[in-house]
Structure 1
Amino acid sequence: ELLQEVEQSDQDDSRTGMLALLPSLKIMGVLCVFVLLFWLIWKIEKKFWEDQDNSDEESCSREEEQEQEEQQEQEAEEQEEKEVKVQDEQNDSESFGPNEDLKELGDSLLYLVNILIDIAQNVVLDTFFPVPERSFVVGSTYEGWGLPVGETVFRFLVSLKPPRGHIFHLELGTTRELPIRNSRIRVELKCTCGQEQDLKMLCFLHTSADELRNQQPSLLDTLCSGPYLDVEKTARWFGAVLKNAWKCVPLSAACRLNAVHFKRSCRFQLTPMIQRTFLIDVMFGVQQGNTDIFLSSQESEAAYTPSTAWPQTCAVAEAKFFKHVAARAGEDSFHLGCLKVCAYILVGYNFSPYELKTVLMHLLTAIPVECWSQSYFVQRMEDILHYLRCCVEEKRLDHFLIGNKAVPAEIILPWEFRVSVPPNLFQRVARDPDRHEQALYETEMLRDRFKTLLTSGK
């Protein structure tokens, strides 16, 4: 019992001690709860501010990225604008470049004309009409600098030879001004005695009139006015020969060839199956010796041209000169493109395309051919307009082929062309002060029009 009392007393004392510690434990528990709560709040606030800071940083980063993207887009747009501008300038210059399609078409038509000439040679073989020998394609359309005005016109010059028993004697006129505009072709008969078997003809000079009745008439009795070869009669005859020759060409089944008009030349309208109509203008002429100068049927600048007048033409020599330049120049040569631009800006002014063509030919012999590429386009156009201005100020523009030592030796010219004083193509400007003043004004307008063409393309 004593032991039980002692144990009971110890238990009561431990209970009393624990009860005494209970308020302290409650206080400690409350404090721990508050500490834990404050820790949780601090963690939450820390997380919040970290997220806020990260959001601000991300926002700033996004803004910086957006600014960079906008700047890059702006730079890209500016670069694109520059490229477009450069491309537009290149397209503008290319749009004035020589038309290779027209050149290929011109070569095809030259081949066709030569076929017609071959047929015509057989037709006139046993007659006393002129003999067509060879053809040359000439003019701005084939060269690639002509402006597309109306229907496309290809021009050809066909060389004529005298028939058997005849001679062409070229009378170059009395004027000293070259090229001669009033030259004529006198037809003479020559003796063919002893050649009757080879030539299959009787001699017109030494055969009786009764015997000659069985022979076709001479050229003097068919295409001449007096002793001179008549351009208009020759044009009508040659037009009929070409039309008959066309019937023998297989292409005639697919294309139509209609005569438009022929007074001093033979002009035909060719309409292929693709319905693209263009004109073939066939001039004819007689070669002056072995040179590149012809007495031709082309119209002269005079108000009236007699039917027996055969003006000198430099068309073949000039075409040969451009071929000479093209053979020496690179594939990117743009000299004919410059001439096409000149023809474009000349519209509405008093300068002729031929005058600007003459300026170009002079410069082609003065400036190396490698400096006529498309990259030098603006500089060469400025040279052309400056040269034109100087010529107007001096009231003189020399003919290119006459009296010019710079003409290549490949261009075969008559002796008088080599040694004569070149004619002045600006004679009208030299004689008339009002025209001179107007010409000076127009040179400035041409410069302005060229600048406008560069900036706006119009």
Structure 2
Amino acid sequence: MVALVFIFTLLAQTLPLAGNDFNEHTFRHMKQHELYLREQMTVLLKEVEQINQNHSRMGMQALLSAVLFFWKTVSLCVFGLLFWPMWKIRKKFWEDQDNSDEVSCSSEEECQEEQELEKEVEEQQEELEDQEEKKQQEHTEMEELEQKEEAVLSLAAVPSHQEHGEMILSMLCELIKCSQFVIANTFYPVPEHPIVVGSTYEGWGLPEEEPIFCLLVPFKAPRGHIFHLDLGTTRQLPVKNSCIHVEWECTCGQEMGMLCFLRTSEDELRNQSPSLLDTLCTGSYLDVWKTACWFETLCMTSWKYLPESSVYSLNVTLLFKRSCRLRLTDVFRRTFLIEIMLGVQQDNTDIFLSSQETEAPYMPSTSWLQTCAVAEAKFFRYITARAGEDNLYLRYMRVCAYVLVGYNFSPYELKTVLMNLQTAIPMECWSWKNFVLRMEDIFHYLCCCLEQKCLDHFLVGNEAVPAEFILPWEFRESRPPNLFQHLVQDPDRHEQVLYEMEMLQDRFTTLLIYRKRQTSTCPTAEHIGHGEDAAQYEEGVAVEC
């Protein structure tokens, strides 16, 4: 009984050790209890031996077996009681260690996740900052682009002289009608309704103080005469050595009060006005010089019959032999230059044989140039009709005309570049939003043509010409002439224009930067050249004159 009480007391003391409040001190306490139990076991064994010695030998064997059984039972219980807290203690220790490992692993994973999250956040912030910078940069670029466009538009917004041009056209129409009345009983060529041509009427004239209003006056053969157009050699179009052959036509029974030049004797013809062959022809060909001089005289004679003569003053400027140039002055002492080309239509096409001036050092007076001026003016009217109210292509022409002043580029070359690009690029792409881009296209196209020494004529051999244009069959079928052929023949001039081409972009950029508002007046082309003159020109368009 004493042993059982001791065992249960020991069990009651050891059970709390299996709780969750295990620590190092408890472990040492258990070790001490184990030693104490072993000592008590030894004491019990000694008592058992002492008891065995006191009993008789007859009950010794039974008592020993019972004690042995009891001892085994007690040993098993003691061993169980000792093993259970030890197992709980080690289990708790392992669990704590595993939990600490899990906590450390989870903490490491959380740290990695937090680091990755921080990196993502930093990357997103960097992306947002980059986007903000890009937006600010785009906004700045858009503002600069808008400023450039405003500067270019203000630069291009030079007076188009449209009102003056309509006035001059109306006045010249009246002058032609009066001229027809003056020559009614003669055998001079009959002038017809004038056709406006040239950059001023097209809306993009060069920056000149006195714009030139250019018109072409077609005329027909007088009664009793026929015009035959001899185009000469057509290997290179437009033809430069064409002639107008004049012949008589039989008018017997057709014209009242007129003698037939073919069937009437010379003596009888003396009573009639002289034939065209006897007045404006050299041989049997119409003479350009004689015809231009005659038309100037006719204009001055007819002007006296117009009511406008009391308000305006009309004079002839004797500068050209092939064409007629008039100077019109109003009561406000404003002057208008009117250049009149005479021409004969080729069949029913938009091509004429004209008295247009030429750069050739010498040309026979009987040679008439094949001109495309009427067809080109028709092209710009064609573009205007499709461009609507926003005719920005005119601004491109004006800006290019400003930029090219003083360099070895002719207005006709500029016009050819614009016509080629306007048929290649859709009209909606010529809006103000794409102004700078289209200007870059113009310069790039011109630069490529200069490098290749080739700029094809627009109306000859070009499939892109709209069907509305009536052209001779040879214009449709022939190979286009090269407007830069002179560069092929002159390498020095080619190097010069390449150098000038590099300066054009700089001039355009300068105009964009310094052009703050529209100038009231612009320098004339006569005062603009190279070097210092070009610099003075750029300064002149940068500020108000």
- What is the match of residue 399 of structure 2? 341
Give 2:301's match in structure 1, choosing from 244, 266, 270.
Answer: 244
Could you tell me how far 1:371 is from its partner in structure 2?
Answer: 1.6
Q: Is there any run of 5+ residues in structure 1 with no aligned partner, and where?
A: 1-78
Query: Pairwise CA RMSD of aligned residues?
Result: 2.0
Deviations 1:342-394 (A, max 9, x none): 12111232222211210110000011112212222111110000111111222
Give 2:208's match in structure 1, choosing from 149, 174, 183.
Answer: 149
Q: 1:184-203 alignment to 2 at 5 Å? A: 184-197=243-256, 200-203=257-260
Could you tell me how far 1:237 is from its partner in structure 2?
Answer: 1.2
Give 2:337's match in structure 1, choosing from 270, 279, 282.
Answer: 279
Give 2:388's match in structure 1, choosing from 324, 330, 335.
Answer: 330
- What is the match of residue 270 of structure 1? 328
Q: Is the 8 A contact 1:392 1:426 kept in 2?
A: yes
- What is the match of residue 80 of structure 2? none
TM-score by length of 1: 0.78
Give 2:286's match in structure 1, choosing from 229, 250, 260.
Answer: 229
Give 1:159's match in structure 2, choosing from 215, 218, 236.
Answer: 218
CA 1:393–1:225 in structure 2 vs 1: closer, same or farther (change >3 Å)? Answer: same
Could you tell me how far 1:150 is from its partner in structure 2?
Answer: 4.1
Give 2:265's match in structure 1, choosing from 208, 212, 217.
Answer: 208
Q: Is the 8 A contact 2:149 2:436 kept in 1?
A: no
- CA distance in 2 between counterparts of 1:334 and 1:423 reads 29
- CA distance in 2 between counterparts of 1:334 and 1:97 reads 10
- What is the match of residue 408 of structure 1? 466
CA 1:434–1:134 in structure 2 vs 1: closer, same or farther (change >3 Å)? Answer: same
- CA distance in 2 between counterparts of 1:447 and 1:388 reads 11
- What is the match of residue 177 of structure 2? 118
Which residue identity lines up with residue 359 of structure 1 in the other structure?
V
Give 1:298's match in structure 2, choosing from 356, 359, 379.
Answer: 356
Larger Rg: 2
Could you tell me how far 1:432 is from its partner in structure 2?
Answer: 3.5
Q: Is the 8 A contact 1:330 1:370 kept in 2?
A: no
Give 1:377's match in structure 2, choosing from 421, 429, 435.
Answer: 435
- CA distance in 2 between counterparts of 1:378 and 1:258 reads 43
- What is the match of residue 137 of structure 1? 196
Q: 1:64-143 alignment to 2 at 5 Å? A: 86=146, 89-97=149-157, 99-100=159-160, 102-143=161-202
Could you tell me how far 1:89 is from its partner in structure 2?
Answer: 4.7
Which residue identity lines up with residue 232 of structure 1 in the other structure?
W
Could you tell me how far 1:175 is from its partner in structure 2?
Answer: 4.7
Q: Is the 8 A contact 1:135 1:159 kept in 2?
A: yes
Q: Is the 8 A contact 1:103 1:143 kept in 2?
A: no
Q: Is the 8 A contact 2:246 2:284 kept in 1?
A: yes
Give 2:484's match in structure 1, choosing from 426, 445, 452.
Answer: 426
- CA distance in 2 between counterparts of 1:167 and 1:214 reads 22
- CA distance in 1 between counterparts of 2:246 and 2:445 reads 44
Matched, 1:310 2:399: no
- CA distance in 2 between counterparts of 1:162 and 1:301 reads 28
- CA distance in 2 between counterparts of 1:333 and 1:153 reads 22
Identity between Structure 1 and Structure 2 (%): 63
Q: Is the 8 A contact 1:97 1:336 kept in 2?
A: no
CA 1:375–1:295 in structure 2 vs 1: closer, same or farther (change >3 Å)? Answer: same
TM-score by length of 2: 0.66
Which residue identity lines up with residue 357 of structure 1 in the other structure?
K
Matched, 1:441 2:499: yes
Deviations 1:226-268 (A, max 9, x none): 1111111111211111112211111111111111225222211
Deviations 1:11-46 (A, max 9, x none): xxxxxxxxxxxxxxxxxxxxxxxxxxxxxxxxxxxx
Q: Is the 8 A contact 1:157 1:284 kept in 2?
A: yes
Secondary structure of the residue that 2:321 maps to in structure 1? coil
